[in-house]
Structure 1
């Protein structure tokens, strides 16, 4: 009887009508052979695109030797990956925890490390933030809709306004606000928390929340607050890390050293499941029985991640990301001059967002969803902010995109806007 049911009725989660067959570079091909430019790099985890030949070769060679071994044992791919991660991380981050299975468990582990180190329990995160979908990271994420279905979530999370200058919570102007969005965190600690704050967890550029780039000085202000109050500063670089912003980590772009960086997604290059927590020496010491997962430190994934870091570390690679990202931003800002429904173009490197507005300048979620849906007809795979509740189209193609491919992406976007957003 099950064979008579549609596959859509058997898969627990919702799937689209498109069936994909293979991928190459920035393109994903459906069962009919039609090519789509993937503007979302899978789920932002295909940093080097589909089937990068060096990643595939590294995984094939490793698969012939060893796919998995318990992390109790050392293996050459894990040893290489740990050394390479330390080498490319901010200088104060000298410890690598690989026994996590994704970005959410990396973020949860970072909180545990901060709690053990400080002896405190509470966590501060931002409005619109997204840190994962475990029980703890669901509670941490700054969106009410994420928490709404669940009657029991972790207590001790304080959400504070994010540095969203276009729609400032405090109705201030960036040139005169004195970074109120950072300074007021002191008030939240004093009056909204219990005073027992272990860590502040922040995405240097918001991922799901709308590609919000903080104003100059904001992250440095967070560093100062944490130093003054003995709070651990955690950068969730699950989406911003491994070259996405044109630097190995967004921390490098902003010139701020957090106490912990979490990384995942793009670390796998062409889709390997791998994540890591990078910490300072002061955060070392969380015993294994408190945070370790069976497939953390997987040998096959470590081989892929090591090769990914080797590629992204090449002298010309990040310069290429910055150059193509600047070219894309220039073209998209030009597009915005001709299509007033684009209210803002913002981003770093190849992490770009188009904020869509109605004719009165208000967020236009229906138009955003419509364009993302119709994008497939124009050969574009587009994702939107806030899991379909936001008004930002995300433009985050694989980092290997060429200038010519970036122009093709923009040409298709312009055709889409001409047809659907006039």
Structure 2
């Protein structure tokens, strides 16, 4: 059967590659060829493919209970709540596990903020992703995502992100005074209805281009939120569970948000799990306003507990920081030698590098071409903004060894040597 006949029944397009197995950071196609997955599937395999400890925990749970209604207690879910609070910022008090994906975790955190404040509007950032539900699509920082769906969710205002390399306000780091925070006051005064419940931000933008805010940005944003009684929500769907070399990016940036959303890497090796972690103020949203059938799934909770046991170990997180630092150092060296690489940024294994044309314009076509060509060199790379962006992302599983980090960089070098446009 040819590829087209096999995939005709699928609603969405797929690549020509058919994958058959995975182990660690490696994925294998039906011809047996090996690829290093620098996207950790969809940035969710924090422990890589087929992690034995997580699979063992799931098998043990499989023999007891796979699922019950979340109205009942269970050891896996009770344990998960305790473990998440233990690795969260100290102001966190409650865990809402009755969600089964990042989109609905973000939506739930916003509902909590609206319920707690009695206000409705929400600020999000340019280029933000946030999720795929209609509410999250409407809060996206990309117009192409909202274009087909007019008036899907009112009361969302996008504000400039802390994209220092291409600052919206034309400032440079060190002398800007965090203009991108100060100017939110103008949006509050002139663009909102004056009843803003929350600001939701990705500490490091995931799909938006791996934008790392400058030190001090979040302290300024925290102060702004406190001054205006606005809830600060951290979307840590991608940055959480060790991705930055810290359990949550909130710790790296030294700030306490009012809520953190977690998913993706929480499942370790592919289990579907998510949670909303909140301070005391956001407690109290009635369950009927936000709960999902497969939230608090016991099999997924068992996987998450095993994942947290592994990732929270200091030596594990230290390795994430070390391998990430090595890759960043190699990319900095590549930037000096390849004209198209204009900015390298990242924390831990949340890494991206930006490509531009000779006149400094975003090199979107070249970015996509390099990502496509990378498969020839045994690398799976993802680009920013669903192919509309000019950033190549490197986010391999967190189990990455130093030897594997070196192999990734060597393959990147070969990719650019052979494929970079003259």
Q: Same fold (TM over 0.5)?
A: yes
The structural deviation recorded for 1:4 is 12
Are residues 340 and 312 of structure 1, via their aligned partners in 2, closer, same or farther at CA, if it must alter by over 3 Å? same
Aligned to 1:111: 110
- 1: distance between equivalents of 2:3 and 2:418? 39
- 1: distance between equivalents of 2:318 and 2:150? 47
Q: Does the CA-based 8 Å contact 2:3-2:16 persist in structure 1?
A: no
Aligned to 2:51: 52
- 1: distance between equivalents of 2:190 and 2:370? 42
- 2: distance between equivalents of 1:311 and 1:299? 19
Are residues 171 and 84 of structure 1, via their aligned partners in 2, closer, same or farther at CA, if it must alter by over 3 Å? same
Aligned to 2:94: 95
- 2: distance between equivalents of 1:152 and 1:294? 28
Give matches, 1:120-269, under 5 Å.
Answer: 120-269=119-268
- 2: distance between equivalents of 1:276 and 1:161? 27
Aligned to 2:64: 65
- 2: distance between equivalents of 1:184 and 1:4? 52
Aligned to 2:336: 337
Are residues 4 and 49 of structure 1, via their aligned partners in 2, closer, same or farther at CA, if it must alter by over 3 Å? closer
Q: Does the CA-based 8 Å contact 2:100-2:274 persist in structure 1?
A: yes
Q: What is the aligned length?
A: 421
- 2: distance between equivalents of 1:4 and 1:192? 50
3-state SS of paired residue (2:63): helix
Q: Kindly provide the CA deviation profile for residues 353-408 of structure 1, in whole angstroms up to 9, marking residues without a partner as x.
A: 01011112211000000000000000000000000000000000000000000000
- 2: distance between equivalents of 1:74 and 1:299? 10
- 1: distance between equivalents of 2:150 and 2:322? 47
3-state SS of paired residue (1:65): coil
- 2: distance between equivalents of 1:4 and 1:25? 27
The structural deviation recorded for 1:132 is 0.5
3-state SS of paired residue (2:53): helix
The structural deviation recorded for 1:5 is 7.2
Are residues 338 and 287 of structure 1, via their aligned partners in 2, closer, same or farther at CA, if it must alter by over 3 Å? same
- 2: distance between equivalents of 1:403 and 1:153? 46
- 2: distance between equivalents of 1:3 and 1:373? 21
Q: Does the CA-based 8 Å contact 2:344-2:353 persist in structure 1?
A: yes
- 1: distance between equivalents of 2:301 and 2:254? 28
Aligned to 2:418: 419
Aligned to 1:402: 401
- The root-mean-square deviation of aligned C-alpha atoms, in Å, is 1.2
The structural deviation recorded for 1:315 is 2.1
Aligned to 1:318: 317
Q: Kindly provide the CA deviation profile for residues 300-327 of structure 1, in whole angstroms up to 9, marking residues without a partner as x.
A: 0000001100101112111110011111
Q: Kindly provide the CA deviation profile for residues 227-248 of structure 1, in whole angstroms up to 9, marking residues without a partner as x.
A: 0011100000000000001100
Unaligned runs of 5+ in 1: none
